[in-house]
Amino acid sequence: GQQLNQSPQSMFIQEGEDVSMNCTSSSIFNTWLWYKQDPGEGPVLLIALYKAGELTSNGRLTAQFGITRKDSFLNISASIPSDVGIYFCAGLTRDMRFGAGTRLTVKP
C-alpha cells in the first residue's frame, strides 16, 4: 500500500530551538494528521488538517495541509525536553497511511 515519505528520519536539537518536519506522497489525501508517539505507547493525535492550504496551530505546534493535497509539514517552536518522541504524519482517504516517523531528541 501507499506509504508516505517523511523526513527527516531523526533530529537532534537543543532545547529552545524550532523544529520542522514534512511528509510527501504521490497520492492525494483528503485529510492529513500528525501524531506523536512516546516510547512503548500508542500514537496520540496532535493536529488534524481537512482542507488544502489549511494552516492550524495547537500551542507550540503548527501544521499545514499542502495546496496540492500531497504534502504536509509540522513545525514545533521553542522545543522543550518533553517534545522527545516519534512524530508520524498520516494521510487519510478511504484508509489511513503513515509515514515512517521522525525521531526527535531534545538536549537540555
Could you give phi then psi for residue 66, rounded to 5 degrees?
A: -60, 150
Pick out residues in 48-107 that bind another protein (CB under 8 A): 48, 50, 88, 90, 92-101
Q: Residue type for 45, please?
A: L
Q: Which residues of 25-50 are buried (b: 16+ CB within 10 A; e: fewer)?
A: beeebebbbbbbeeeeeebeebbbbe
14-53 residues in contact with another protein (CB under 8 A) are: 31, 33, 40-45, 48, 50
Tell me: does residue 108 bind another protein (CB under 8 A).
no
- Residues of the shown chain interacting with another protein in the complex, contacts defined by CB under 8 A: 1, 3-4, 6, 9, 31, 33, 40-45, 48, 50, 88, 90, 92-101
